[in-house]
Amino acid sequence: MNKPVDSRDFLLMEYESLRAEIAFAKRNMFQLIIGGAAIIPAAQSVATSYEIGSITLALPMILLVLVLMFISENRSMMRAGQYILENIEPRFQKRGGWEAWLNTSNGISKTRSVDRILIFAFSVLSSFYFIVSVVLAWRYASKEFGSGGKYLVAFVYLIVGLVLAGILYSQAQTDTEFSVPPETEQD
Q: Which of 77, 75, 57, 46 is nearest to 154 (CA)?
A: 57
What's the number of CA atoms in the CB half-sphere (13 Å) around residue 170?
6
Task: For residue 101, tell me if it sits in a domain.
Answer: yes
Whether the Cβ atoms of residue 164 and residue 67 lie closer than 8 Å to each other: yes
> What is the distance between the alpha carbons of residues 58 and 113, in angstroms, rounded to a whole number?
34
In a domain, 135, yes or no: yes
Domain range for 147: 7-171
Residue 102: the pLDDT is 79
Is the residue at 12 inside a domain?
yes
Q: What is the pLDDT of residues 114-153, one digit of tens each?
A: 888 889 989 999 999 999 999 999 999 999 999 999 999 9
Segments of the chain with pLDDT less than 50? 178-182, 184-187
Residue 14 to residue 20: CA distance in whole angstroms: 10
Do the domain assignments include residue 1? no
Cα–Cα distance measured from residue 86 to residue 11, given in angstroms and rounded to the nearest whole number: 12
Structural domains counted in the chain: 1
Range list of H helices, 84-186: 89-92, 98-102, 113-171
How much is the pTM? 0.83
Domain contains 185: no
Whether 181 is covered by a domain: the verdict is no
At residue 181, the pLDDT reads 47
60 domain residue, yes or no: yes
- 46 falls within a domain: yes
Q: Note the pLDDT of residue 92.
A: 82
